Chains A and B, each alone.
Chain A
Amino acid sequence: MAKISLIVNGNPVTGNIDPRTLLVQFLRENLQLTGTHVGCDTSQCGACVVHLDGKAVKSCTTLAVMADGHEVKTIEGLAADGAPLHPMQEAFREHHGLQCGFCTPGMIMTAIDLVHRKGNELDDHTIREELEGNLCRCTGYQNIVASIAAGAKAMANSDLV
């Protein structure tokens, strides 16, 4: 077993885990943060994307022990319970950027990382290229792209990061 301590959504957490534990398992099963999904489990689909030290990573391909001492943010950490949604979440609702919702947490975490890297004005081509590692199997990507463009703009006027 390995002892780990890290910051998850701003809160210090600890765990005594088998080193084989994936970060996504630790989040979902130890911390009950089930907003982060396991889709393909092969680092292709992006349903498991979280931020590790502020950067989007696939938590199905990260060992929890490697996150020891680091900072993780999940979809649950974007906005407080009962408070208004994060502008990117709100944009997905407004623009119907989801159907079944399975890919949505990963899409949103990827989208916010994209805004951090490339700013608030994003054209469709850039968004589509950057979504290379996130798969949606319900429908097309049209409304996801529209949501991200709108959410990126809205983030310019929000205190939530």
Chain B
Amino acid sequence: MYEFKYHRPGTVRQAANLLVKNEDAKLIAGGHTLIPVMKQRLASPPHLVDLSHIEGLNTIEMKGRSLVIGATAKHAEVATSAIVGEAIPALANLASQIGDPAVRHKGTIGGSLANNDPTADYPAAVLALGATIVTNKRRLKAEEYFQGLFTTALEADEIITKVMFPLPKKAAYIKFRNQASRYALVGVFVARRPSDVRVTVTGAGSDGVFRIEAFEEALKKRFSSKVLEGIDVPAEGLNSDIHGSAEYRAHLIGVLTRRAVDAANAKE
């Protein structure tokens, strides 16, 4: 790890000012992506701005018809929150499958979204549920937020403060894990929303999280896994590596989507 200066701001405003003042400063909360990357010297930020001590930034609450999760809410907090379990159980279930117990005690929803790892779990939920990402500057719709591999709409001095999830009628997340890394080889989030259905895929796309409109159209007409039979997912644009070919991932997307629809229906 290269040298850096550590900052511990007490408010989001102070944190933002530190970002403006110190070029190439990086935000840190759980540190479970950034610290490993810094150890490998793939990143060498001269300043680290620690968000984990900003009070109120990890609050989980219902606001009107939306579930609002603070940026520094840890995966374990989301997984075990009674509010999340009541509002969107599929989201609690997703959080309970990230990493391992010790990782879930540190990793945060804001960190996961800011990093936008193509195999991360949260992006699938955020895009499927049509969540809004709230920053210190503006509100971003999920559709405009994710911009490809490790790329988001966030500006250099922009800080995620919370994520607002409108409540779906039904939802489920099914993840097929890489047996070694335990990351999603493919993860599918299905959300039946009041106005439409969304199916999102993480782990498989060479450009990060994406939607499958053919599935969404079919499921909008009838929300049953049966309607998906005969609709193939093209392997084009999917990852192909030692863990699985693009064709294998395409097949998995179909299987996992059917399982997710069945799981969403079983919950009612």
B residues less than 8 Å from A20 (CB atoms): 1-4
Closest to A46 in B: B102
Residue positions of A touching B, CB distance < 8 A: 2, 18-20, 22, 41-43, 46, 49, 52, 55-58, 61-63, 65-66, 68, 110, 113-114, 117, 130, 132-134
What is the chain B residue whose CB lies nearest that of A64? Answer: B6
**Residues in chain B near residue A63, CB distance under 8 A:** 6, 28, 31, 35, 48
B251 contacts partner chain A, Cβ-Cβ < 8 Å: no
Q: Bound state CA distance, A61 and B106, in angstroms?
A: 9
12 contacts between A and B (CB under 8 A): A18-B3, A43-B103, A55-B76, A56-B102, A58-B102, A58-B106, A61-B31, A63-B48, A110-B102, A114-B101, A117-B101, A133-B101
Considering the complex, which residues of chain B in the window 190-222 have a beta carbon less than 8 Å from any beta carbon of chain A? none
Known: A61-B32, A132-B182. A19 touches B48 (CB 8 A): yes
How many A-B contacts at CB < 8 Å in the complex?
A: 72
Task: Quote the shortest CB–CB distance from A122 to chain B (angstroms).
Answer: 13
Contacts of B32 in A (CB 8 A): 43, 61
Q: Is residue B100 within 8 Å, beta carbon to beta carbon, of the partner chain?
A: yes
Taking the closest CB of chain B, its distance from the CB of A139, in whole angstroms, is: 20
Most-contacted residue by chain A among B2, B36, B100 (CB, 10 A):
B100
Chain B proximity of A141: nearest CB distance (Å): 14
A61 with B101, Cβ < 8 A, contacts A2-B6, A19-B5, A20-B3 known: no
Chain B neighbourhood of A42, CB < 8 A? 36, 39
Q: Is B52 a contact partner of A41 (Cβ separation < 8 A)?
A: no
**Which residues in A have their C-beta under 8 angstroms from that of B76?**
55
Question: How far apart are the CA atoms of A134 and B48 in the complex, in Å?
Answer: 29
Is A57 a contact of B36 with CB atoms below 8 Å? no
Cα of A103 to Cα of B79 in the assembled complex, Å: 27
Closest chain A residue to B35, Cβ basis? A61
Say whether A58 contacts B103, CB under 8 Å.
yes
B105 at the A interface (CB under 8 A): yes
The docked-state distance in angstroms from the alpha carbon of A49 to that of B102 is: 8
Which residues of A sit under 8 angstroms from B50, Cβ to Cβ?
65-66
- Closest B residue to A113 using CB positions: B101
- Interface bits B11-34 vs A (CB < 8 Å: 1, else 0): 000000000000000001001100
Min CB gap A11→B, angstroms:
23
B100 touches A133 (CB 8 A): yes
Interface contacts beyond A18-B3, A20-B2, A62-B35: sample of 16 additional A-B pairs, CB < 8 Å, sorted by A: A2-B6, A20-B1, A20-B3, A20-B4, A41-B39, A43-B35, A57-B105, A58-B102, A58-B106, A61-B31, A61-B35, A63-B28, A63-B31, A65-B50, A114-B101, A117-B101
